[in-house]
Structure formats: C-alpha cells, structure tokens
C-alpha cells in the first residue's frame, strides 16, 4: 500500500514598513512579495516542519472508512431502491456517487 506523507518546511521573515495603518502595511508587503522585492530562501527557514498524511491520499483513513460503509450498505440499498421503482431521492444514488470518489 502506498501512502502519501506531506513534509512542509516553513519560511518566514519579518518585514518592517512605515505606514499609517495595518491594512496599508499588509498591502505594501503583499505588493513587495508579488514584485519579488521579497524572496524567501533558506536563511528564512524558521525551524518549523510539519509531517502529516496528505489529505488527498485515496488511501486515507477517512476514505477507507467511507468505503467500508458503502460496501456494507450498497447491496441492501440497491434492493430497496429497485423495490420502490427507483425513486430520484433514494440514498442508493448517493452511495453510488460516493463510491465514484472513493475508488
């Protein structure tokens, strides 16, 4: 089984600007960053590292649990759906849709 683990290193720098308001200061620094007047590099590494399971991983615990529920319910719900002449608002249709995202 392959599981994606995301490693994130945080770069940060304090930039001091002379303005009349916080909003103006944030705008100035955002513009400086967008114009590449501020470029963070290895000197800006703040020692903060996050290691976590990648949320988009199809083998995530949440997906495995949902898949287990779908497999448990789908056969009975399909039978019930067909017995009721396939109503548009039956839970079976939701299970089918969920199944597409999990597989």
What pTM value is reported for the model?
A: 0.47
pLDDT at 45: 94
**Residue 51, beta-bridge partner list:** 7
The distance in angstroms from the start CA to the end CA of the chain is: 14
Q: Tens digit of pLDDT per residue, the chain (103 long)?
A: 677 888 999 999 999 999 999 999 999 999 999 999 999 999 999 998 988 877 655 556 777 788 889 989 999 999 999 999 999 999 999 999 988 877 6
| Residue 94 CB contacts under 8 Å (≥ 6 apart), including other chains | none
The whole-number pLDDT of residue 55 equals: 64
């Amino acid at each position: 089984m392959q599981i994606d683990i995301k490693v994130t290193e945080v770069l940060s720098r304090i930039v001091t600007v002379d303005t009349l308001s916080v909003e103006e200061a944030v705008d100035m620094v955002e513009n400086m960053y967008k114009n590449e007047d501020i470029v963070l590099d290895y000197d800006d590494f703040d020692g903060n590292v996050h290691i976590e399971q990648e949320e988009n991983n199809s083998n995530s615990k949440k997906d495995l649990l949902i898949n287990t529920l779908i497999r448990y319910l789908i056969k009975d719900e399909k039978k019930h759906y067909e017995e009721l002449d396939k109503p548009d608002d039956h839970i079976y249709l939701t299970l089918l849709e969920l199944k597409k995202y999990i597989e």
